[in-house]
């Protein structure tokens, strides 16, 4: 079984409505996974991936404050294709900080549906533009935008 999930920021309560979804906290990441994938992101905040991806900077910042993000499974489906389609739709519905058309709070670097750990050239360019200096330091353009 595959599923799509959302990370919610417990420091930003409110009513966040996106098409058919309503959240009590601001969403900041949408993903697709199997098994324990949704939880695995939290263990990656100690490795070098944090230096290049705003989502992991956000997790690291929350962890420093002893705050655990909420993870909500949005749905469970049979195939990767279904999960990727839903992931893409949710990201478009909510929007990302890194897309000029689908603007929103998500820290996803692309519009989903691609999977894998090797980012495309477009995503690498977005990563490069999203950081200056250290990932979680004052030199980062996302500094203070927890």
Q: How would you label 46-74 residue by residue, b for 16+ Cβ within 10 Å and e otherwise?
A: eeeebebbbbbbbbbbbeeeeeebeeeeb
135 vs 137: CA distance, rounded Å: 6
For the chain (146 residues), the mean pLDDT of every run of 10, in chain order, is: 95 94 95 88 59 81 92 95 94 89 89 59 53 46 46
Residue 143: per-residue pLDDT: 44
Residue 12: helix, strand or coil by DSSP?
strand
Helix, strand counts (H, E) of the chain: 4, 3
Report the alpha-carbon angle 122-139-115, nearest 5. 30
Q: What phi, psi does 38 have (nearest 5°)?
A: -60, -35
d(CA 107, CA 69): 14
pLDDT of amino acid 102: 82
The residue extents of the domains of the chain are 2-130
Q: End-to-end distance of the chain based on CA atoms, in angstroms?
A: 32
pLDDT given for residue 45 in this prediction: 54
């Amino acid at each position: 079984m595959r599923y799509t999930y959302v990370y919610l920021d417990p420091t930003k309560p409110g009513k966040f409505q996106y098409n058919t979804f309503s959240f009590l906290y601001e969403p900041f990441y949408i993903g697709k996974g199997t098994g324990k994938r949704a939880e695995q992101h939290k263990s990656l905040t100690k490795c070098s991936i944090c230096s290049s991806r705003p989502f992991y900077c956000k997790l690291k910042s929350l962890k420093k404050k002893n705050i655990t993000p909420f993870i909500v499974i949005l749905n469970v489906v049979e195939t990767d294709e279904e999960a990727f389609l839903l992931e893409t739709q949710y990201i478009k519905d909510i929007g990302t900080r890194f897309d000029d058309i689908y603007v929103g709070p998500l820290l996803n670097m692309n519009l989903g549906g691609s999977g894998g750990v090797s980012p495309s050239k477009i995503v690498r360019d977005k990563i490069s533009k999203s950081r200056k200096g250290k990932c979680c330091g004052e030199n980062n353009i996302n500094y203070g935008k927890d």
